[in-house]
Chains A and B, each alone.
Chain A
Amino acid sequence: MNTDFKATVEALIFASDSPLSVDKIARVLEVEPTLVQAAVEELSVDCSHRGINLFKLAGGYQFMTSRRFYPMVLKMKDTDRSLSLSQAAFETLAIVSYRQPITSQEVAAMRGVQSVSNILRNLQALELIRIAGRKDVIGRPMLYRTSQKFLELFGLNSLGDLPSLEEIGVNDS
């Protein structure tokens, strides 16, 4: 592989504020995505022992500090990156993420409560979920989906990466 090409890809990923997709890099550099993919994979190996690693997130790649150095980085940053959500909010988010698109009513029914609209509104304000249209039933209720930011903040490349229940030893029939 051309070292310069790899370095260019590295520079692009570094300069991006959010995970950068292979397709986008390919478009910018006017090359085949497969070339970029190969470069990205090499980069990932290259920096696996460094302070920054390459993460595959939300359909793209992003450089982030290695979790090995979390305590030190945290000490320097002084603020945690994690969201502080209540258990109710986590449950609501779990329902939306696993069963999207879903209406507010359906979420409430799964949690056995009358309404989750406040929680949904807050999750929306945090840009974790978004409105994705209306359901074609009486009342045309809004449908909710998780956002790109949700994938980023939960370390997922795509919704397909959500841990399945079988994987965690629950029989989902």
Chain B
Amino acid sequence: MDFSPTFDLELQLEGFNGPLDMLLHLVRKQKMAIADISIAPITEQYAEYLNRMEELNLDIAGDYFVMASTLMLMKAKSMIPREQEAFEEMREELIFQLEEYEKVLTQAGKLRERHKEISRSFPRSYKEKIEKEDWEFKVGDNGAFLLVEHYARVVERRKALRPILIRPKPYTMKDVLSLLFSVFAEKRKVRFSALARVRERGFVVYLFVSMLELVREGALKATQTDTFSEIILQRRTIFTEEKQEQLVARFE
């Protein structure tokens, strides 16, 4: 049985594809022709299967219960003499449904084979998906659907093309570096977290880079007692304004 993420929508109860599939399985198991189906035993077996599924905690689709109640109603009718006619009618209906379903199964199998067969041949792989082949816009009775289909495609495309917004940062490396200088003009010792507090990620990154730069230049000393622990920044020297400007200018 094929399972694919996109099509695994139908509950595959023990591999059954619905109540008719299960019923057909039961009929075949009894080596019975569909037309000879006897309702009472089938109803019982069907109910048994359902119970077993419940025991297995399988999530049973409502469709299975609809069939179960139909079968039980038929069984009940079959035992009431004046309901004989109604029973026969329902039985014929069920037989018809099963026979039709059996055809569907055969046809589905046939389609599967055809598809497998043709899939063994490959077309030229280059695909130019420019939608202009026979681009005569014929609007027939179904013009509205055509329109909706094309509209849906446009919406999809727009989604795919939706731009990624890149906002300019409200500050620059220069600003952050200048800020560090002004902080250390007053304080000797500052915790990194205190500077980074409530700032957004971009700012913290700038701050960290500025810090590294100042450590390298010997303006600050950074200490950390443990991995991921607080970084403590200490001022080593106060740079002259000239030197400060020089450093800031690097980030122009």
Q: What residues of chain A have their CB less than 8 Å away from a CB belonging to chain B?
A: 14, 17-18, 24, 53, 55, 57, 62-67, 70, 73, 77, 80-91, 93-95, 97-98, 110-114, 118-119, 122, 130-133, 153-156, 162-163, 165, 168, 170, 172
Contacts and interface: CB of A to CB of B under 8 A. Distances in A.
A67 B9 contact: no
Nearest to A85: B7
Given A114-B63, A131-B142, A132-B142, A119 B9 contact: yes
B114 A155 contact: yes
Nearest to A92: B108
Contact of A94 (B9, B61, B104, B145): B104
A87 B108 CA distance: 8
A91 B100 CA distance: 12
Contacts of A168: 106, 110
B10 A155 contact: no
Given A94-B111, A95-B104, A67 B142 contact: no
Contacts of A84: 2-4, 7
Given A82-B115, A153-B118, A168-B110, A122 B7 contact: yes
Contacts of B107: 94-95, 97-98, 162-163, 165
A86 B20 CA distance: 16
Contacts of A77: 122, 125
B142 A65 contact: no
A22 to B, nearest CB: 15
B10 A119 contact: yes
Nearest to A87: B17
A63 to B, nearest CB: 7
B163 interface: no
A59 to B, nearest CB: 12
B249 interface: no
A41 B121 CA distance: 19
Contacts of B242: none
A84 B116 CA distance: 10
B1, B12, B145, B149, most chain A CB atoms within 10 A: B145
A110 B104 contact: yes
Contacts of B17: 87-88, 91, 111
A133 to B, nearest CB: 5
A86 B4 contact: yes
Contacts of B122: 64-65, 73, 77, 81
Interface string B103-135: 111111111101111111111111111000110
